[in-house]
Structure 1
């Protein structure tokens, strides 16, 4: 699976692959995090005065300890692990009433928040007021008031400006201040977990745990930008560090005091699994009180499409955020989700229709070829693979006779292939034996357009079955054509033949399923939802 070498500067969290978050594995207890507005605190009484020297910046910089559970891919999108514990990031106070700025990926999806202040032994509870997934900013509200605070710099960031990065790298409770300069005033802001209009690049060292911390002017101590990312972006062995400029952050922070902006309530990242040929927005965690939470999005889900647009294909959150920024917060948004642990593809709407399994191919089979005799529903499914590991698919446990040997051609060419049935020999010789065959080969080896390939693939069956029609096939992972066949061999059995390719057409997958009872038709849906080709 492809992952970037950039970390989200911060939370040493249990979760994000490309976001730096270091888990303490701790079991700190606190009250549940809740979301609220705080108009009564947003302006604050600023009579206490802001921090005015670089030496006093520490008093307004806080360490945020977030506790929750997150789901992360384990080498492949099809396999995941759940991590539970505490993660740490940084934030800074901007108002004596206790308004704190940090990163979205530090707080979203966590169950509890505790904030540690300079010189204090006991942490303070905090509530999330608003988050922005796309800008990776969040505003939280501390209990109490009378806090020291930082002021924003109103000067445009300039190349060469001396700056200091303040925070708590690697989850260390000891405050750290590093020095550097702004090396680029307007760098690209698209990452796999955010999509910011532009950001500041600097060379003041930051590490996982610095997320959400301030980048301050070395002379005035005023906030120039909010640290959010770093790492070996270009693969050159040299680290680069990035922060969200104050001119973008300030107006957004004012909005976040009143609620979420450009957010659906997920903590996630754009991913692309080259082995499976799948791209999307991987959901690590979800805020229950959000459109995503209300829809039933879960950690471990992959958001494939929103409003029909494919997500994450460029490895960034740009498309995702373009959709959110072009809609109102309460607008309905269609969504397609791949849920690996249940092997389901789901569709629904944010702020609208509930998530439901995508339209069943079984219904179409009955419509095209007629109903089949009743059969006992298969109680369990198992994943089988071909001998080379190129193809995998889930089949009924009763289809326990499996042959994963490749198709061998006279010229020595081999195509990956797997068959599963109660009897593979019976499946190959007769129509009234249920089973499945999945074959895959490079497009160059197959040759021809997909329609012509399907003609050749189903040629023998067309003479033995009733033609139920041919349609365009699109399961979002693979596109091509499907042929429906009924009353095969005069037995009343049905069959489908599918020829399809992924976006880009690098390989061709051929799927044939024979169905004798209505239970086999339901098995077809499982086959379609779970077959994967890694070629």
Structure 2
């Protein structure tokens, strides 16, 4: 759960089956010593308070609702070794300027903590405090089963008072995609957690670690913890300073008022990370990676799938909408840094401002190979294939507020996005523009000339036409070749108002091709 932040979030939980087992325990808190059962090492149940820590992340974050602000949000964590290594959630600590830690509920002495390693997709991070022979929590060795009694420890709501809640395992091993994580192995339980419990331990009655709490839904009484097995799989890498499925952002999938995914919002960026070197800033919205729309379902699932497929150290293309100056950028993680894309609206005397009228939505062709952001009012889509007069097959779509009128005249606004691998050998961007211009002069359209077009993935030309048809429409066409050489793309936008012209920039700067 996120602390001190207002959010409009969706949680998607896909369940799997689990076996059942029941164990009993007593509920008490103290400062005790070692466990005598269910695993070796670490504190026992009475010693949990001594090994659980409260973490305060200090720094500047950018909220989609509050803008930039100085944050001193608090979460929880716990020591996992006597030499001061501690586990928490990535979203508690990533991107912070400084980290302070309190042990044993003692607010009189703050300790400095150092970030060691993190995982955005698994929402885990390891930090380290100075010290030796410290109490720590050991991993449970027994299987984890449905109906096992569990306890959530931590510091909810930023309160410095150590707190524990009791419950049972509802689902012993399920998957869960949330706006800030994507996990294959999660424990669902009913030991209630609240904001500030993030990163705290979920333990059994011996005080052994069952999972790491990271999300909750009070309305549906759902509490989620990262499964012990998932934690053990990467904890040694994190302790060694190796990030896992991480580019250095503290982010979340952002949705609009209607629940439609808009992209992955960047709350903060870790200094020196791949995201930082690429030029990603807090307040950016990541819309596409490697041609895949991210955050479209309101979760981090697609973002993490791209990282899993390509690896966090690979060169990964990314498209960004920068809210601070209303611009669009393309670039690469571990490659070419972000650069502004061409503002095609300038070709017809427009500006690169966002269009009004209800925001944008992402649409795709029937094959799923071509995606683009369009105004929500453009609700009619034809995603069928197209074959040109050279017999080249194009994947793509046409989208409009009135698709029939858009295809047959100048009365309706809309856009066409086409891409072809076959056309690479038989056509050029200039020839595509020639093809797109056929019949335009007969409709009264006047060209303002051709201009160079370039973004982080494509090179070509664009042409702007004015005074088309009885509505005096504007028609903007971009033809470009992928720098990889894989395909040719054609993007056309028909605009009847200033808002439509502004929307052309979003359309052109958001199209993604997965050929």
> 3-state SS of the aligned residue for 2:133?
coil
Relative distance call for 1:449 and 1:257 in structure 2 (3 A) is: farther
Q: Distance in 2 between matches of 1:311 and 1:381?
A: 23
Q: Which residue of 2 aligns with 1:266?
A: 249
Report whether the alignment pairs 1:101 with 2:87. yes
| 1:256 pairs with 2:238 | yes
Q: Which residues of 2 match residues 398-477 of structure 1 at below 5 A? A: 443=380, 446-448=402-404, 450-454=406-410, 462-466=442-446
Match of 1:116 among 92, 102, 118: 102
Return the match for 1:164 from 132, 151, 160: 151
Q: What are structure 1's unaligned runs of at least 5 residues?
A: 1-7, 21-48, 75-79, 367-376, 393-437, 476-481, 500-507, 515-522
User: TM-score if structure 1 supplies the norm length?
Assistant: 0.65
| Distance of aligned partners of 1:279 and 1:487 in 2 relative to their CA distance in 1, 3 Å threshold | closer
Q: Tell me the alpha carbon deviations over residues 243-270 of structure 1, each in whole angstroms, 9 at most, x when there is no partner.
A: 0111110121111112211001111111
The answer to whether the 8 A contact 1:14-1:70 is kept is: no
**Is 1:351 matched up with 2:331?**
no
SS in 2 for 1:448: helix
1:97 deviates by 0.1
Matching residue of 1:72:
63
Residue of structure 2 in register with 1:528 after alignment = 504
TM score, norm. by length of structure 2: 0.68
- 1:53 counterpart = 2:44: yes
Rounded Cα–Cα distance in structure 2 between residues aligned with 1:89 and 1:249: 18
Q: Is the 8 A contact 1:50 1:148 kept in 2?
A: no
The answer to whether 1:150 aligns with 2:137 is yes
Q: How much has 1:147 moved relative to structure 2?
A: 0.7
Q: Distance in 2 between matches of 1:488 and 1:449?
A: 14
Is 1:511 equivalent to 2:501 in the alignment?
no
Compute the displacement of 1:530 (Å).
Answer: 6.4
Tell me whether 1:244 sits opposite 2:226 in the alignment: yes
User: Does the residue aligned with 1:342 lie in a helix, a strand or coil?
Assistant: coil
Residue of structure 1 aligned with 2:54, choices 57, 60, 63: 63
Residue in structure 1 matching 2:114, options 118, 127, 148? 127
Query: 1 CA distance for matches of 2:377 and 2:335?
Result: 39
How far residue 156 of structure 1 moved from its aligned partner, in angstroms, is 2.1
* Change in 2 beyond 3 A, CA 1:67/1:497: same
The C-alpha deviation readout for 1:477-532, integer Å capped at 9, x for no partner, is xxxxx98437999xxxx973269xxxxxxxx9951479xxxxxxxx9986633699
What SS does the corresponding residue of 1:13 show, helix, strand or coil? coil
Counterpart position of 2:299: 316
1:85 aligned to 2:76?
no
Q: Match for residue 227 of structure 1?
A: 213
Aligned residue for 1:205? 192
Match of 1:173 in 2: 160
Distance 1:155 1:384, change over 3 A: closer
Q: Is the 8 Å Cα contact of residues 16 and 72 (structure 1) preserved in structure 2?
A: no
Structure 2 residue 462 is the aligned partner of structure 1 residue 485? no
Shift of 1:208: 0.5
Deviation at 1:354, TM superposition (A): 1.3
Counterpart contact for 1:361–1:524, Cα < 8 Å:
no
Q: Distance in 2 between matches of 1:97 and 1:179?
A: 29
Change (3 A) 1:485 1:328: closer
Consecutive unaligned residues in structure 2, runs of 5 or more: 12-39, 361-374, 381-399, 414-436, 456-461, 478-491, 509-515
The aligned residue for residue 496 of structure 1 is: 474
Q: What's the CA shift for 1:383?
A: 8.0
**How far, CA to CA, are the matches of 2:100 and 2:465 in structure 1?**
62
Which residues of 2 match residues 255-334 of structure 1 at below 5 A? 255-258=237-240, 259-273=242-256, 279-334=262-317
1:188 aligns with 2:172: no
Distance of 1:307 and 1:322 partners within structure 2: 11
Cα separation, 1, equivalents of 2:403 and 2:292: 29
1:31 corresponds in structure 2 to none
For residues 16 and 131 of structure 1, do their structure 2 counterparts lie closer, same or farther at Cα, with a shift above 3 Å needed? farther
Contact preservation (8 Å) 2:445, 2:465: yes
- Measured against aligned partners, the alpha-carbon deviations of 1:33-67 in whole angstroms (never above 9, x if no partner) come to xxxxxxxxxxxxxxxx9444211111100000111
Structure 2 CA distance for partners of 1:484 and 1:198, relative to 1, 3 Å: same
Match of 1:340 among 323, 328, 333: 323
Match of 1:43 in 2: none
Shift of 1:154: 1.8
CA contact (8 A) 1:15 1:284 kept: no
The alpha carbon displacement at 1:451 in A equals 2.9
- What per-residue deviation string (whole Å, max 9, x for no partner) do you get for residues 391-424 of structure 1? 89xxxxxxxxxxxxxxxxxxxxxxxxxxxxxxxx
Secondary structure of residue in 1 paired with 2:276: helix
Change (3 A) 1:291 1:381: closer
